[in-house]
Chain A
């Protein structure tokens, strides 16, 4: 089916066909990154602004590389550390950016819903690169792409997500996407990190790693955000590793073909031990490679949808 959305704000609301469209397009895009000349001209003359209100290396660089491989002009704006009140700053910044007529804005913000706000105000396409604890759709899409590339399918697999489920936008987007394509999803984590009502999103709760491990085809370990916990939920990294970390010993409880994923950056020795992160069952670096292909696919598809919309309404005429 043709892609018709102006923005990518989250996995919620995407149909399985739309998710598959991104994954299939990404499979094509991946080949471009293996060429000597890693660039195609399809987005030549398009301007993409990467607007990051939160620290990020991997996601920002991944978007930037994807943009450049499609020949778009990429501009990075990072405003971490800004002390001005959020709402006003965001809209002001956005209006100023829009005045320079970008085609796509990639937004990361600590406040949930900000991409939707921008999308409703600006004619530019908006891609959510993570909004607070809400969603991180391109991460979920690249996780699915990585799994499908390795195992050939999503439907029928059992995937575990373990860690701070409550504060994780990755967990949320992953859960929605995996369920949409027919995977069984088990979620677990330390007490207090599993949000009530998660079953309503289609997850089964298996609080302890030991319990979920034997059933899994894939295990997604989440990053413990030490900087945000403030010691409230567990005392220390070592304590977390002892009780909840994925050690080589715990990994043995899973099937031999179990694949381990992590959205990064990894706290080595806390949620995942170095032996596991660098081991043969780890897909962590494959995820990073997939990220570029998936973001190229999203950029390509959104450009198409917006070009079609512009043709119907007259370019730029749908500005509010």
Chain B
């Protein structure tokens, strides 16, 4: 096993999300027409947590959708194995909404590119914003996040792992040297 350094602990993740929630409210001046769409497989859980925080702060519910961008990826031809497609569930119109895409890690930007295309096929949002828990740099496309939990300078070959209660039983973000994990 490679050496791992902790970037965020449980409290750190919570504080980052609380700040992002406030920033979302500030940028959109409330929650009118705001919807969250999380990218599988961890952005969906982060989106749900943000929705809870937004409800606690603002007192109104914000719709949460889940998106699987597998069918829109540009790297399928190079993927080590053909990924299993999971369901996209965006049970509300995105037409004329401010859509906040939520993902765990922003890396090359290719997942976000796929998500943008996928979202456009579901309708024409008023705007699309991007919230990520960690921005680790190394963009390959002209994409940036509107809301960032933590900026982490990394080497390309390092792997950033976001562990969440819902999927991993604990809340932590760690950075591991070694094999690069494409995001």
By a beta-carbon cutoff of 8 Å, the part of chain A in contact with chain B is 2-3, 24-25, 27-29, 31-32, 35-37, 39-42, 70, 300-301, 303-305, 307-308
Contacts and interface: CB of A to CB of B under 8 A. Distances in A.
Residue among A3, A32, A304 with most chain B CB within 10 A: A304
A25 B85 contact: yes
B85 A28 contact: yes
A28 B82 contact: no
Contacts of B81: 2, 308
Contacts of B179: none
Given A41-B71, A307-B76, A308-B81, A28 B122 contact: no
Given A27-B87, A35-B121, A42-B76, A308 B82 contact: yes
Interface of B: 68, 70-72, 76-77, 81-82, 84-89, 117-118, 121-123
A280 B85 CA distance: 33
A25 B87 CA distance: 9
A39 B121 contact: yes
Contact of B82 (A24, A41, A307): A307
Contact of B72 (A31, A40, A300): A40
A35 B87 CA distance: 13
Contact of A35 (B70, B117, B122): B122
Contacts of B86: 28
20 contacts: A2-B81, A24-B84, A25-B84, A25-B85, A28-B85, A28-B88, A35-B122, A36-B121, A36-B123, A37-B122, A40-B71, A40-B118, A40-B121, A41-B71, A41-B117, A42-B71, A304-B82, A305-B82, A307-B77, A308-B82
Those 7 A-B pairs whose CB atoms lie nearest each other, nearest first: A304-B82, A40-B71, A42-B71, A37-B121, A28-B85, A28-B87, A2-B81
A41 B68 CA distance: 13
A109 B63 CA distance: 50
B77 A300 contact: no
Contacts of B71: 32, 40-42, 70, 300
Contacts of B77: 307
Nearest to B73: A42
Contacts of A37: 121-122
Contacts of B121: 35-37, 39-40
Contact of A28 (B68, B76, B117): B68
Nearest to A45: B77
Nearest to A301: B82
Contacts of A305: 82
Contacts of B82: 2-3, 301, 303-305, 307-308
B30 to A, nearest CB: 28
Contacts of A304: 76, 82
A39 B89 CA distance: 16
A19 to B, nearest CB: 15
B38 to A, nearest CB: 16
B74 to A, nearest CB: 9
Nearest to A38: B121
A70 B76 CA distance: 14
A37 B68 CA distance: 16
Contacts of B70: 42
Contacts of B72: 40-42
Contact of B122 (A2, A36, A41): A36
A275 B57 CA distance: 57
Contacts of A308: 81-82
A32 B81 CA distance: 23
A247 B82 CA distance: 47
A301 B86 CA distance: 13
A90 to B, nearest CB: 30
A140 B81 CA distance: 27
